[in-house]
Amino acid sequence: MSKPTWIIVFAIFMILFGGCGATGDLADMNIDKIVAIQEQGMEEMTKDHNSKIKIDVNGDTTVINEMDSIPDNLKFLLGDSLARDSSNNVDIVQTIMDSAKLSEYRIYWTKKLAPYSFIISILFILAGIFMFFQHRFVVPAVITVLSLSIAFGLFSFILFNADKDSGALVNTAGKFEYILSIFIDMVMLIVFMVLDKSYYTETMFSDDQN
């Protein structure tokens, strides 16, 4: 029996997702060093940039001075990270630093979970590679990897959802990342369960007859 096209496509996606995940996991293992470099860069910005936020509205650049003049969607996005001085002006550099701040809690758990996430990413790659081979263990292996990834994503989402000290942008981006990851894994699992996997079960029947 020839290999169905959906298996090739699915396997490639597994390998790509695993590769992207592994790259991010390697960065997370050194997140404390990355944060230190970012903080140093932000400190340099304070010496060279204006302290007020500039927003391009309909092609016109305006400087935001008063808090009341800030668009509601920007206030919602930055949340409590909006920094202002004694004159009620918005400090652009401090606002960016506060909104992108990583709490010690997030840094600790990101680095702690990175090796486990890396293992799951490698399993994604291996499962994708094994899908090219007609063997009985492929189906349970793919289901196990996807289920494990969903469970790990839910655990991570709950864990980082308890982070109240990181900046608004960090928390928002983190929630979106895990929700998107869980959603993609669930869609892939459902698709894999629904599609015809007789390409692999055919080997099982063949082996049993022998």
In 15-76, beta strands by DSSP E: 53-57, 60-64
CA–CA distance, 178 with 150 (Å, rounded to integer): 10
| pLDDT confidence of residue 99 | 74
Asked if 77 and 169 count as a contact pair (C-beta separation under 8 A), the reply is yes
In the chain, beta strands by DSSP E: 53-57, 60-64
What band does 125 get if pLDDT is binned at 50, 70 and 90? very high
Give the mean pLDDT of the chain: 79
Q: Which residues contact 165 (CB under 8 A, 6 or more apart)?
A: 101, 103, 104, 105, 106
| pLDDT confidence of residue 185 | 96
pLDDT score of 72 more than 70: no
- Of the ranges 56-65, 100-109, 144-153, the best mean pLDDT one: 144-153
What band does 63 get if pLDDT is binned at 50, 70 and 90? very low
Among 7, 26, 24, 23, residue whose Cα is nearest residue 128: 7
Q: Which residues contact 138 (CB under 8 A, 6 or more apart)?
A: 127, 130, 131, 200
**pTM of the model as a whole:** 0.72
CA–CA distance, 178 with 181 (Å, rounded to integer): 5
| pLDDT confidence of residue 11 | 95
CA–CA distance, 72 with 19 (Å, rounded to integer): 38
